[in-house]
Amino acid sequence: MDDSLKYPIGRPQLPSEPLSSAERTTLIQQIAELPAQLTAVAKAVGGVGLEQPYRPGGWNGRQVIHHVADSHMNAYVRFRLALTEDNPTIKPYEESAWAELPDVAATPITVSLTLLEALHTRWVNLLHHLTDAQWQRTFFHPGNQRNSTLEQTLALYAWHGRHHLGHLKLLLPKE
């Protein structure tokens, strides 16, 4: 399979060293801009286009949009857990199984796009108020058996949003 279809913006690159304030600000801005970008691309793709998979064997556009909402809700909760508990173990979830649940097909994408707008507003407000020490707080992910800092998680979810935005762009009508 063409890796550019699976990873249209490349694979994630997580920081191994602390980020600068400017680097964090750039990543926070990417998270802040994502809901409007997803909405614009979804509108350009159109309803019929969103029912198509972005690659052979991949999710359709509707599933991608609902997945981003599901994933980013989990990320927001992970941030809050790490900020209020010492290295909590987070709960992984089966993304593929969630994408097949009946609400994904039955719920208009506007619901998840509205959810993302509200969620990202709360999340970005939280992110703008973290101290340098808070960015280094961690949680344990039992799925990959590693601790992640909130800074690494910020980089991952900024990438995650752009990654799935790239998938939706693959559904844009060809000119």
Task: Give percent of the chain above pLDDT 70.
Answer: 99
pLDDT band at 3 (very low <50, low <70, confident <90, very high): confident
pLDDT, position 73: 98
pLDDT, position 174: 86
pLDDT band at 175 (very low <50, low <70, confident <90, very high): confident
Min mean pLDDT across 15-19, 39-43, 96-100, 161-165 is at: 15-19
pLDDT, position 1: 59
Residue 175, burial from CB neighbour count under 10 angstroms (0-12, 13-18, 19+): exposed
Q: What is the pLDDT of residues 103-152, one digit of tens each?
A: 999 999 999 999 999 999 999 999 999 999 999 999 999 999 999 999 99
All domains of the chain, ordered by start, with CATH? 21-169 (1.20.120.450)
The Cβ-side half-sphere exposure at 72, using a 13 Å CA radius, reads: 32
Q: What angle do helix axes 61-84 and 21-45 make, rounded to 10 degrees?
A: 150
